């Protein structure tokens, strides 16, 4: 069962953990905000946890299933036309013989709750691939985001074992890989998993106890598939199977006289080559798509911010997430008013009311991040002057001068206080989900809707969108200059964007579903 609480992305930004060439988080950026959480905080995505320790499933591993899914999704790419690639078209391609196997659909079901309005299934499949590799002891692969989900099936271009070598070379060339890279990529991919007899009886012609013949004798991501092939001890059915026609790995591996396979006999070289090629595989996208720079753990990230009317003021909740370095920091939040001069020249301020520790994902630990410190704030904002921007002062308490976290000099900006999601008046219970929106100083011309992203099903794992219409809520009388509008929303909601027109002015507000205890 999923338990969700809501947080609002209110024109936020943060300082990025300084890594050369890393994506810089500029406000507002729901894409990077979501991907950072899903990559580096284990509570936000199954891709960060399910594949750990090469967890078993169906007499294979979850990691093997995820890596196969990623390649089969990418294999629709045509480098000449710039079409296809990592675009989640695989969700429309399960009826093809190349995509047979329970692991394909099971993998997509693993990812059902990860997409939202800004992050598509294609990005989640790509994250699954890198987590599959590291979860089985393989190398760290950089992740870039921004893939766009396809709305229909791509061409049936996944290579099949019964095809000849020329066909395989042509397929990989179309995908953008040379013959040498083809050999390496197949070896990398086949370091995990194997062939299931129930799915491929023409390949796996002999009975095996588990119903599956693995490509290598070891479970994890390593070059055993290479060394056993070179030693002649392999049981890889695509090399030594009784059906000569489907010995595709043998034809591919030996196509250059084993030169490439000999080079992969070095574990270090194997990891280096595989990291590069699997990275290129998941970054193979249609030419119309531009991916972000690699996304590294973001330091000093504003998170889970809410602004809503409560008890004669505006309640403003915010959390500053900081990569934990063992420093006992004190953090103060400052803000400026929207109108008037309620705050002193230095700004109004409030200290954090609690500091908690949040765990880092396994991928984050491989990048040197062991945990995050969450500094949480609860400020009462004057209703008349409101709030326009905020920033933080961080004191390391080690004798050094405090420093400012202010979105690289431009502060964190809150654009408006007219249309606000109200978490305290909203209801998220077993009796139903009802979202409440406060509208400030409304006229008779008001329209409030929300675009809601709904997760897929276990048979059709594709997100969809619906429009929620808000009505004036008589159970929540006007208060603090706001009138309140309510709409039921689906329990399968992944995110919502509120759209409102008030006195002829249009407003929008992204309301993601976040696991945020205490909101």
CA-CA distance, 437 to 441, in Å (whole number)? 13
> Rounded to 5, what percent of the chain is helix, strand, coil?
25, 25, 50
Structural tokens at position 242: 């009784």
- Give the per-residue pLDDT at 304: 86
What pLDDT does residue 163 have?
Answer: 96
Least trusted range by pLDDT, from 31-40, 45-54, 469-478: 45-54
Question: Rounded to whole angstroms, what are the CA distances from 80 to 26, 64, 129, 172?
Answer: 34, 29, 25, 12
Residue 482 β-bridge partners? 440, 479
What is the tens place of the pLDDT at every residue in 427-478? Answer: 877 667 899 999 997 776 789 999 999 988 888 888 899 999 999 999 999 9
Q: What is the percent of the chain where pLDDT is above 90? A: 79
pLDDT at 45: 83
pTM, two decimals, is 0.92
pLDDT (tens digit per residue) in 302-313: 988 999 999 999
Q: 57: which strand partners? A: 60
Q: In sequence order, which residues have a C-beta less than 8 Å from that of residue 227 and are 6 or more positions away?
A: 265
Catalytic residues: 72
Q: CB neighbours of 92 closer than 8 A, spacing ≥ 6? A: 150, 152, 153
Residue 46 contacts residue 121 (beta carbons within 8 Å):
no
Q: Domains in the chain and their CATH numbers?
A: 50-282 (1.10.520.10), 301-413 (2.60.40.2440), 419-514 (2.60.40.2440)
Average pLDDT over residues 91-108: 92
Three-class SS of residue 182? helix
CA distance readout (Å), 181 to 169, 187, 228, 277 = 10, 10, 20, 7
The yes-or-no verdict on residue 14 having pLDDT over 80 is no
Query: What gap in Å lies between CA 362 and CA 405, rounded to an integer?
Result: 27
CB count within 10 Å of CB 27 equals: 20
User: For residue range 371-402, what is the model confidence (pLDDT) as tens digits?
Assistant: 999 999 999 999 999 999 999 999 999 999 99
Give the pLDDT of residue 23. 82
Which ranges of 60-120 does DSSP label H, i.e. alpha helix? 62-74, 102-110
User: Which 3-state string (H, E, C) describes 314-360?
Assistant: EEEEEEEEEECCCCCCEEEEEEECCCCCCCCCCCEEEECCEEEEEEC
Counts for the chain of helices (H) and strands (E), in that order = 12, 23
For residue 430, give both structure tokens: 């077993």
> Are residues 467 and 450 in contact, defined by beta-carbon separation less than 8 angstroms?
yes
- Average pLDDT, rounded, for the chain: 91
Nearest-angstrom CA–CA distance, 414 and 407? 13
Q: Output Rg (C-alpha) for the chain, integer angstroms.
A: 26
Q: What is the pLDDT of residue 7?
A: 39
The confidence score (pLDDT) of residue 10 equals 41
Q: Which of 106-115, 151-160, 407-416, 441-450 has the lowest mean pLDDT?
A: 441-450
Torsion-angle region of 193 (φ positive above 0: left; ψ -120 to 50: alpha; else: beta): left
Indicate the pLDDT class of residue 516, thresholds 50, 70 and 90.
very low
- Could you read off the pLDDT of 275-326 as tens digits, one per residue? 999 999 999 999 999 999 999 999 999 988 999 999 999 999 999 999 999 9
For residue 314, which phi and psi values (nearest 5 degrees)? Answer: -100, 120
Could you tell me the two tokens for 510?
């992204």
Query: In the block, which residue shows the tokens 């059906």?
Result: 243
Q: Provide the pLDDT for residue 330.
A: 97
């Amino acid at each position: 069962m999923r338990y969700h609480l809501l947080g609002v992305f209110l024109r936020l930004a943060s300082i990025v953990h300084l890594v050369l060439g890393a994506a810089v988080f500029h406000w507002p950026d729901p894409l990077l905000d979501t991907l950072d959480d899903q990559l580096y905080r284990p509570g936000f995505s199954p891709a960060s946890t399910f594949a750990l320790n090469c967890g078993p499933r169906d007499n294979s591993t979850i990691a093997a299933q995820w890596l196969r899914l990623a390649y089969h999704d990418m294999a629709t790419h045509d480098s000449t036309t710039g079409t296809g690639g990592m675009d989640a078209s695989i969700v429309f391609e399960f009826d093809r013989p190349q995509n047979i196997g329970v692991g394909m659909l099971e993998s997509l079901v693993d990812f059902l709750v990860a997409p939202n309005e800004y992050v598509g299934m294609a990005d989640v499949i790509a994250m699954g691939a890198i987590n599959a590799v590291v979860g089985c002891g393989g190398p760290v692969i950089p992740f870039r985001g921004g893939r766009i989900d396809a709305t229909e099936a791509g061409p049936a271009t996944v290579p099949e074992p019964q095809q000849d070598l020329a066909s395989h070379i042509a397929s990989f060339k179309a995908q953008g890989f040379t013959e040498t890279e083809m050999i390496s990529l197949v070896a990398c991919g086949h370091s995990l998993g194997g062939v299931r007899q129930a799915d491929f009886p023409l390949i796996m012609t002999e009975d095996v106890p588990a119903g599956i013949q693995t490509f290598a004798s070891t479970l994890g991501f390593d070059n055993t598939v290479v060394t056993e092939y070179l030693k002649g001890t392999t049981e890889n059915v695509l090399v030594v199977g009784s059906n000569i026609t489907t010995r595709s790995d043998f034809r591919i591996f030996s196509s250059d006289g084993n030169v490439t396979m000999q080079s992969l006999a070095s574990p270090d070289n194997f990891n280096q080559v595989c990291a590069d090629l699997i990275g290129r595989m998941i970054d193979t996208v249609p030419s119309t798509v531009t991916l972000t720079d690699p996304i590294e753990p973001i330091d000093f990230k504003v998170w889970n911010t809410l602004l809503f009317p409560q008890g004669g003021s505006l309640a403003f909740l915010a959390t500053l997430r900081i990569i934990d370095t063992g420093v006992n920091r004190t953090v103060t939040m400052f803000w400026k008013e929207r109108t008037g001069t309620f705050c002193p020249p230095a700004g109004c301020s409030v200290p954090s009311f609690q500091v908690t520790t949040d765990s880092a994902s396994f991928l984050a630990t491989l990048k040197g991040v062991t945990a995050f410190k969450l500094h949480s704030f609860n400020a009462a904002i004057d209703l008349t002057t409101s709030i326009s921007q905020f920033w933080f002062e961080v004191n390391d308490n080690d004798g050094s001068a405090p420093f400012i976290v202010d979105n690289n000099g431009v502060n964190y900006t809150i654009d408006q206080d007219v249309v606000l999601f109200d978490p305290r008046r909203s209801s998220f219970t077993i009796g139903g989900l009802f979202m409440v929106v406060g509208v400030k100083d409304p006229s008779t011309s008001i329209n409030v809707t929300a675009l809601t992203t709904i997760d897929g099903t276990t048979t059709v794992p594709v997100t969809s969108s619906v429009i929620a219409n808000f009505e004036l809520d008589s159970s929540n009388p006007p208060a603090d200059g706001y009138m309140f509008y309510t709409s039921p929303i689906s329990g399968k909601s992944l995110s919502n964007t509120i759209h409102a027109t008030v006195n002829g002015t249009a407003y929008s507000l992204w309301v993601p579903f976040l696991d945020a205890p205490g909101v």
